[in-house]
Amino acid sequence: MDVRLKTLLSVAQTKNFTRSANELALTQPAVSHHIKQLETEYGIRIFEKNGKNIRLTDAGMRLVEYAEKSRSIENTFLSDIRVMAEKPCHFSIGVTITLAENILSGIMAVYCQKHPDLTLDIYCDSRKTLIKKLIDCELDWVLINYPAPEGFNVYPLCKDKSRVIVSPDHPLANEKKITFEQFKKEKMILCYKNNYAMQVLDEELQKGSLRADDLNVVVETNSLKVIKKLVEGNVGISILQVAACQAEINEGKLVALPLEGVNMDRSIHFICRPGFAYPDLFQELKNIYEDINFCNTNCNKIELDAGAGKS
């Protein structure tokens, strides 16, 4: 990659020529010279003064986008070249925050122990942004519960199970399932309507002649922690991915129940960029996930049996 573009990316991030010079092991005049060369070559002004600071011009932002794509393409090329050694050294991974905290972190902790020379970039964002970055080859693969773009390889990991979540103190907590009529009467604590899970919920509810707008929603938020705490406090009930609240379910703080006649299960899968060199990786990651789940299930069973024995 052109060293001047590397300099540009650094200055765009630090907003400081001196700091970038230190990071790049260059002199400040050298950094300034690289930026000046780019401005002369492209006939644009890249930075402008903003008080004591600097900021990118519109043309500068476009050049930064080009530089980021150049770096991504180079990283992709270098990753592919490493196939000759049959040993992955670096992955750029995309994942939603919920899946990062509740699934991917555990998997990669084990995987990195098995492959100590591996380095990772883990990028957490919305599904829409992750898919765009995958299409632009800025990511090697993503873990997501969202349909793959056409032409991309998909490797299933598990089912994304969404359930009605209630407090153990709620009257419905002892039910085996919740009916539509019961569901409609409850106070709801939900994610905002533009959330993918809420879109899936709305589609399923409409099959039963019910819309999300018809529900008695008392709280809307984009904070998963807030939803779980409010449900735990018996303020209302919610619908969440089981993976997002498995710890609280295991600890007896929340109860997960199916909603009768509604199927909100979706596939959680890996999607990799075209030309990705290590497709066997995904089977190894799936095996790790299944081993973790098996261990957790057995530990929970042992704890429950021990508790029953004491009583």
In a domain, 309, yes or no: no
Answer yes or no: do 98 and 236 share one domain: no
Answer yes or no: do 145 and 278 share one domain: yes
In a domain, 219, yes or no: yes
Rounded to whole angstroms, the Cα distance separating 119 from 121 reads 7
Rounded to whole angstroms, the Cα distance separating 44 from 54 reads 16
Work out the mean pLDDT of the chain and round it to a whole number.
Answer: 84
Take residue 138 and report the two structure tokens written for it. 């800025």
Asked which of 19, 53, 75 is the last residue of a domain, the reply is: 75
Helix (H, G, I), strand (E, B) or coil at 96: coil
Residue whose C-alpha is closest to residue 178's, from 230, 232, 255? 255
Residue 250 has a pLDDT of 87
**Which residue, chain included where needed, has tokens 């930075």?**
47
Asked which of 75, 95, 115 is the last residue of a domain, the reply is: 75
Residue 107 has a pLDDT of 94
Answer yes or no: do 179 and 243 share one domain: yes
**Which structural domain, as residue segments, surrounds residue 98?**
87-159+268-298
* pTM beyond 0.85, yes or no: no
Residue 88 has a pLDDT of 66
| Reduced DSSP (H G I as helix, E B as strand, rest coil) percent helix, strand, coil of the chain, to 5 | 50, 20, 25
Residue 27 has a pLDDT of 92
Residue 108 has a pLDDT of 94
> For the chain, which residues score pLDDT lower than 70?
79-88, 192-198, 200, 208-212, 296-311
Residue 311 has a pLDDT of 45
